[in-house]
Structure 1
Amino acid sequence: MSTPNPRRGSMLLLLPIAAIVAVLAALFAWVGGWFGNHQLTPQKMMDFAQASGKQQPGFRRAHSKGVCFAGTFAAAPGAATLSKARAFSQPSIPVIGRFSASSNNPYTPDGASPVRGMAVQLKTNDGQEWRIAMNSFPFFAASTPQAFQAMNEAGKPDPATGKPDPEKMKALLAAHPEIAAFMAWAKSAPKSDSLGNTRFNGVNAFRLTNAQGEQRMVRWSMRPRLPVVALTPEQLKTADPDFLMKDLDRRLANGPLVWDLVAQIAAPGDPVTDPSKAWPDSRPEATIGTLTMVHAEPQATGPCRDLNFDPLILPDGIAGSDDPVLRARSAAYSVSFNRREREIAEGKSAYPVNPHGSAR
């Protein structure tokens, strides 16, 4: 048995902060216009994402490492009082989903990933789709695409030192204190030891409309039925590079994994267009459905691989808010998807042929 390398372990513990900035820099591009900088185009933003990390052709430009899963979604009693979406009246809906790590290197060790993601696709029997994209952080790093871009620029390593310019970072945090709050969370937040007990949050707000025309602004989260168990620093030091994926297989061999979809309902005055501001815990909540996961398989040949989990693909009864970061996410996913599809069509993809075919 090899002896654990303490230096490797300490480096892994330091990865979350550096990786948060580097990875988030790859997540979004504002396709609808400029970032307040007329030298920056959406194409250049995606070029930046591709230049960071160890991007592989055919893979997502961010959250490249992942695993597909399948299961069902069942609406909770009373969910239809909040939204007329068919998902809340159909008894059971098949689900295709994906867990992901935050790096744009598809071979990054699971222990090096500071953020985990969950995305799901629900297709109801009336032909409508609902795609949900969530992450394990409780709020987003920046309040606007412009602030996000400023963070990207400040976090870019200086070629002379290999590290971000501290003066640029200091100025950024002074101008955008929400970014400092996010970095503080990333530094101190415990990591769960399993995807199966991880909570995933939708930090953007959406509008639910019921059959009576009543509207409510909500944010949702997937909350695991399993109790959260924190990964210890010692476990992180010696963790298998794919321990999250292997743990998932072990757990599913013993039965399904279950999450409750919970909607937090905004009160008047709550920030519905600023994902960097969490709503108070005192806001009313409603469980609106249950996700039951029964199967997982590698993304290389799984049905989630070629699926674009655009958070603005929504059914009647659910609408996106005016949050500009939400719009940016949708635009970025589209750019990433189109580039991946082109690489696959040109035979440049690092993936094998997908037996499920291309899924939109």
Structure 2
Amino acid sequence: MDRDRPFERVLLTGAAGFVGFHVTQALLDAGVTVLGLDNLTPYYDPALKQARLDRLLPRNGFSFEPTDIADYDAVQAAFAGFRPQVVIHLAAQAGVRYSLENPRAYASANLDGFLSILEACRHNPVDHLVYASSSSVYGANAKVPFSEHDGADHPVSLYAATKRANELMAHSYSHLYGIPTTGLRFFTVYGPWGRPDMAYFKFTKAILEGRPIDVYAEAGMSRDFTYVDDIREAIVRLAGRPPAPDPDFDPARPDPATAAAPFRLYNIGNHTPVRLDRFIAVVEAACGRKAIKRHLPAQPGDVPATYADVSDLAARVGFSPDTPIEHGIARFVDWYRSFYKV
């Protein structure tokens, strides 16, 4: 594990979630003690979350507390009892389209929940807070590849707005209390143990069952699909590298990615956009079957393309995601067939 500042104790929220599960495994493999928090929300199948958790619970160095991060007192108690050196905050209400149906879930988990984490870091000082943001914050931006140094102030979904709010909240706590914070803008994460609400999961399930797939605006869509192992590697490397204030920060020309406080933002993406039609062809090849397509228009909150500039990430930790979509999807489909006994 490549890191500047050694750490032995990590509090990780969303431990039963997709990315949280993979990051927790990597930390345990490296001998780090991890306290996982999660409330196994039923946004998608809680049985899948429990199956992930069941693989973590027997491992040495792992403990778990069922906790809603919006419960301020419970979060404070977990911090006070465990005294983490590093906090990796991955718990959130995910999903762009679901935010149109249930906006209050996003205010509770993504705003109140993140405030609980910030306040806990304030009252129980930590070396570094690493938290999940999203490529969705780029919203209506048309300039590609998306750079952390460009503004991101025109979100096109409530989910994106809450993630951008997290970045601003983190900056305020870095400025006021000196908490080193690093926000990670994930670009369409996929892979084994993934989320059933994501397109690759839905497509695989439908194709193997011989049902149609819903394809939204196929001709104009592309995504920077990022394999979960690459996301995990970037998080683990960054966890031991808390940011320092930028000595060159110019308040007359503020850089959105840095600050006069110990604050930093990074893209984590494969920096190789894939058109939706090619992506579907890759899933078809891995499944060994052709998809039955039901073409639909773009949905509210969707953006036509995502494309990450990861030069800052590479410069900071000497790593950038590079797993080809063909390899990653094949691994996911293999896992899906095994897990669901298809």
- Range class of TM-score, shorter chain: under 0.3
Higher relative contact order (CA 8 A, sep 6+): 1
Decide which structure has greater helix share: 2
Decide which structure has greater strand share: 1
Scaled by the length of structure 1, what TM-score is found? 0.26
Scaled by the length of structure 2, what TM-score is found? 0.27
